[in-house]
Structure 1
Amino acid sequence: MKTRRSRTKLDKMSPEALDACFPSARYFQVHFEYLHETINELKQQLTQSNQQIAELQQQLQAQSLAEMPTVNYAAETKSTGNLRQS
């Protein structure tokens, strides 16, 4: 890594020497492209993960509903015999 230079030294340097002190534009372009691709991949992974979570939540909800006991209230009612029929 290059050492930090004072402002006066940078002012006295030739443009070619000054350019050599900093990364080229191509470096930043490549770095930006890499970050852009990585961000797109992460977005895709996040979308897939959210979809998987939604599917698992549906499965869990369906499973919990299937495990709930079913109650048939109509079959459990008994006639009391106290009702008059006209």
Structure 2
Amino acid sequence: MSGVHGGAVEIEVGDAGPGFDLALVPEARLGVRRSIIERTASAGGQATVVSAPGKGTVVTLAWPVFTLDALDDDDAALDEEARS
């Protein structure tokens, strides 16, 4: 039996521009909501946008990553026991 361990791939992009108040972005504006947040979620990830007027903007995109490890000693012993 293999162990499954997780991690994450994370990308952070920021600027020192004028920033904006995310709560004031109209629902009809698709840039932040659809292009960033929804598309990242549909690919199994999570996007966060942190911005404030006069403070710039930081967008963080993260996706979980899972890897299968080789059999460890405990799993190998269980496999050997099952064969006997």
Higher helix proportion (structure 1 or 2): 1
TM over 0.5: no
**Relative contact order: is structure 1 or structure 2 higher (C-alpha 8 Å, sep ≥ 6)?**
2
TM-score by length of 2: 0.28
Query: Which has more strand, going by share of residues?
Result: 2
Greater Rg over alpha carbons, structure: 1
